[in-house]
A = this chain, B = another copy of it.
Amino acid sequence: MADDTRRRRVAQAAAGVASLRAGLDRAAAGREMHALASELFPICRSITGAGLRETLDILGRRIPLERHRVASGTRVFDWTVPQEWNVREAWIRGPDGERVVDFARCNLHLVNYSEPRHERMSLEALRPHLHTLPDRPHWTPYRTSYYQRTWGFCLPHARAERLAEGEYEVYIDASLEDGHLDWAELVLPGESGEEFLFSCHACHPSLANDNLSSLAVATHLADLLRRARRRYTYRFLFIPGTIGAIAWLAANEERTGAIRHGLVLACLGDPGPFTWKRSRRGDRAIDRIVEFVLRTSGRKWETRPFTPYGYDERQYGSPGFDLPVGRLTRTPNGEYPEYHTSADDLSLIRPEALAESLDALLRIVEVAEGDRVYVNTQPKCEPQLGRRGLYGALGGLPDPGARQLAMLWVLNLSDGRHSLLDIAERAELSFDLVRETAELLEAHGLVRPA
Q: Interface on A for B, CB 8 Å cutoff?
A: 76-80, 112, 131, 141-148, 150, 242, 245-246, 249-250, 253, 280, 307-309, 314-315, 317-322, 333-334, 339-340, 376, 378-384, 386-387, 393-400, 405, 408-409, 411-415, 427
**CA separation between A142 and B397, bound complex, in Å?**
8
Residue of B nearest to A204 (CB): B396
Say yes or no: B380 contacts A249, CB within 8 Å: yes
Say yes or no: A396 contacts B77, CB within 8 Å: no
- Contacts A146-B395, A148-B393 supplied; 19 other A-B pairs, CB < 8 Å: A78-B381, A78-B384, A79-B384, A112-B395, A147-B384, A242-B382, A249-B380, A280-B412, A307-B409, A309-B400, A315-B381, A315-B382, A319-B411, A320-B378, A320-B379, A320-B381, A321-B381, A333-B398, A340-B398
Say yes or no: B318 contacts A382, CB within 8 Å: yes
Q: With contacts A78-B384, A309-B408, A408-B308 known, is A319 near B415, CB below 8 A?
A: yes
**CA separation between A244 and B306, bound complex, in Å?**
50
Q: Nearest-CB distance from A70 to chain B (Å)?
A: 14
User: What B residues does A393 contact at CB under 8 A?
Assistant: 145, 147-148, 150
Residue of B nearest to A337 (CB): B398
Say yes or no: A413 contacts B319, CB within 8 Å: yes
**CA separation between A427 and B306, bound complex, in Å?**
10
Q: With contacts A147-B393, A319-B413, A405-B309 known, is A253 near B380, CB below 8 A?
A: yes
**CA separation between A141 and B397, bound complex, in Å?**
9
**CA separation between A415 and B320, bound complex, in Å?**
8
User: What B residues does A383 contact at CB under 8 A?
Assistant: 77-78
Say yes or no: B414 contacts A145, CB within 8 Å: no
Q: Nearest-CB distance from A20 to chain B (Å)?
A: 33
Q: Nearest-CB distance from A450 to chain B (Å)?
A: 12
Say yes or no: A395 contacts B308, CB within 8 Å: no
Say yes or no: A376 contacts B408, CB within 8 Å: no
Say yes or no: B318 contacts A412, CB within 8 Å: yes
Pull 15 A–B residue pairs with CB atoms less than 8 Å apart, ordered by A: A78-B383, A141-B396, A142-B396, A144-B395, A145-B394, A314-B382, A314-B408, A315-B381, A318-B381, A319-B411, A319-B414, A320-B376, A321-B381, A340-B396, A340-B397
Say yes or no: B308 contacts A411, CB within 8 Å: yes
Residue of B nearest to A398 (CB): B334
**CA separation between A62 and B290, bound complex, in Å?**
59
User: What B residues does A396 contact at CB under 8 A?
Assistant: 112, 141-144, 340
Q: With contacts A79-B384, A246-B381, A308-B411 known, is A143 near B395, CB below 8 A?
A: yes
Q: With contacts A309-B400, A386-B147 known, is A319 near B379, CB below 8 A?
A: yes
User: What B residues does A245 contact at CB under 8 A?
Assistant: 381
Residue from A148, A339, A383, A414 having most chain B Cβ neighbours under 10 A: A148
**CA separation between A414 and B249, bound complex, in Å?**
20
**CA separation between A308 and B411, bound complex, in Å?**
9
Q: Nearest-CB distance from A418 to chain B (Å)?
A: 9
Q: Nearest-CB distance from A76 to chain B (Å)?
A: 8
**CA separation between A399 and B393, bound complex, in Å?**
65
**CA separation between A88 and B247, bound complex, in Å?**
85
Say yes or no: A387 contacts B319, CB within 8 Å: no
User: What B residues does A77 contact at CB under 8 A?
Assistant: 378, 380-381, 383
**CA separation between A76 and B383, bound complex, in Å?**
10
User: What B residues does A413 contact at CB under 8 A?
Assistant: 308, 319
User: What B residues does A399 contact at CB under 8 A?
Assistant: 334
**CA separation between A186 and B307, bound complex, in Å?**
44
User: What B residues does A398 contact at CB under 8 A?
Assistant: 333-334, 339-340
Say yes or no: A321 contacts B280, CB within 8 Å: no
